[in-house]
Amino acid sequence: MLIILKTKISKSVAILYKAKDILNINSLQILYHSFVFPYITVEVWGKTYKTIINWIFLLLTRAIRIINGTDYREPTNKLFINSQALKFSELVDFKIRHITICYQTIQKLFQKRLWVWTERELHVHKKPKAE
């Protein structure tokens, strides 16, 4: 599974590399968000091995350097800020927080629903009083 994902991201970065001379920065960012970004955001990579995270990080920084048209030794901090993209570690933190907030919201909804359910049960199953 991981080898397939690595090849898909590598092919997407190769498409960006081939299109860098033809397209402008905005078009390259659109290609990045349509070809590279979905493979990175499908899974939460926060609690996996460093070797797996390392090659995802390298491919992501290579894509950002291609979009901005810089050398392969250029530091990527300014490039991420200029392109308004999240670094890989920030993206993982964002996804984990997003999942926990969704989980807490769903959990609160079920707690409210369970309370309403038990409240209805109490009123429905009362025996009628004999007069």
Q: Determine the Cα–Cα distance for residues 37 and 34; give it in Å rounded to an integer.
A: 6
Q: What is the pLDDT of residues 6-56, one digit of tens each?
A: 888 899 999 999 999 999 999 999 999 899 888 877 665 666 777 777 888
Residue entry with tokens 């397209």: 23
| Residue 17: inside a domain | yes
| Residue 31: inside a domain | yes
| Residue 22: inside a domain | yes
**Counting beta carbons within 10 angstroms of the beta carbon of residue 128, is it exposed (0 to 12), middle (13 to 18) or buried (19 or more)?**
exposed
Query: What residues have CB less than 8 Å from 22, skipping those under 6 apart?
Result: none
| Residue 10: inside a domain | yes
| Residue 131: inside a domain | no
Range of the domain at 18: 2-124
Q: What is the pLDDT of residues 85-124, one digit of tens each?
A: 888 778 878 888 888 888 778 777 666 555 555 555 555 5
- Report pLDDT for 80: 86
> How many domains is the chain built from?
1
pTM here is 0.69
